[in-house]
Amino acid sequence: MATFRKTATGWRAEVCRNRVRRSKSFATKRAAQDWAAQQVYEIDNRKELSARVLLREVFERYAREVSPTKRGHRWEVVRLEKLGRDALASLRIGDVGPTDLGAWRDRRLAEVSPASVIREMKLLSAVFETARGEWQMVEANPVRDVRKPKGPPARSRLPLAADFERLALSAGDDLSHATARAYHAFLFGCESAMRAGEICGLTWDRIDIDQRLAVLPMTKNGHPRDVPLSSEAVRLLQQLPHSNPVFGLTTAQLDVLWRKLRTRAAVEDLHFHDSRAEALTRWSRRVDVMTLARISGHRDLNMLLNTYYRETAADIAKRMDQS
């Protein structure tokens, strides 16, 4: 219902309907009544009206209100801006169906990898879920009815003994040089299962040598993590020249140095992130899967086992006869 109050400068309209409250002041009572009638109509028909909003506007609202609450929100906003330039975004959100999304998917597959399309579909689904639940703009999430592209096969590459030899020779052992520290960071990753960003952000006040522990106050998944350090990981840290952060490298520097080092060493298809898989594969021979997840920070055991644990069946067969 709507109520109207005379004020010193005019009239104030107040609308309370279906637990929605709105108010505004006007110079005349007629203007206040017209505004109140419009508000009542919008409240009663908000789902129908919301469904007329362009998908582009929904992307903009999501980028403005939801994305800033996430880690890595900058890249999410970039993806939303890209989505906003596609023909799909010029449709009204209430008109978007699985057929439209399927056509968008096929267009994107002609431009980027299936893995990129899968990531974008997850973001689209998150937008529609928010629009469906919190914003009550649509009745259902149409992304759920769209087939996702088949993802790439799980990566199986681990560093070989020859890779370590070539990289060590190419990097040199003078840790005052950034290239040598980049390789040292890779070795540390093979012992600690820490990500490149975590290694580059590591500072001495977060390391307890006596307890062999590195404390990560914030990680990729938004949770802190305590990383147990092997004696070899501690030895690698103690070899470094004093610097804070410990390795004296930014993630951007490490990425460039690693690529140059790998090329110079003639090592093919070895990513820095493979050091994390190497560490977890090593640890899997000594600890149970729950402890392994505690070390890595994984909350999804399927992700841990399918993506990072890369021991082959032949390796497991050899261990079966060991005492």
For position 310, what pLDDT does the model report?
62
Which of 152-156, 176-180, 192-196 reaches the highest mean pLDDT? Answer: 176-180
Between residues 139 and 161, the one the model is more confident about: 161
Residue 260 to residue 226: CA distance in whole angstroms = 31
The reported pLDDT for the residue numbered 307 is: 62
For 179-222, write each residue's pLDDT tens digit.
Answer: 999 999 999 999 998 999 999 999 999 999 999 999 888 766 66
CA distance 25 to 8: 11
Return the CATH number of the domain spanning residue range 161-312: 1.10.443.10
The more confident residue out of 90 and 21 is: 90
Active-site residue numbers?
A: 195, 220, 298, 308
Phi, psi of 245, deg, nearest 5? -60, 165
Both tokens assigned to 287: 């600890």
- d(Cα 18, Cα 44) in Å, to the nearest integer? 8
DSSP code at position 46? H
Mean pLDDT, range 73-91, rounded to an integer: 92
Pairwise CA distance, residues 50 & 52, whole Å = 5
Specify the pLDDT at position 321: 67
- This prediction has a pTM of 0.63
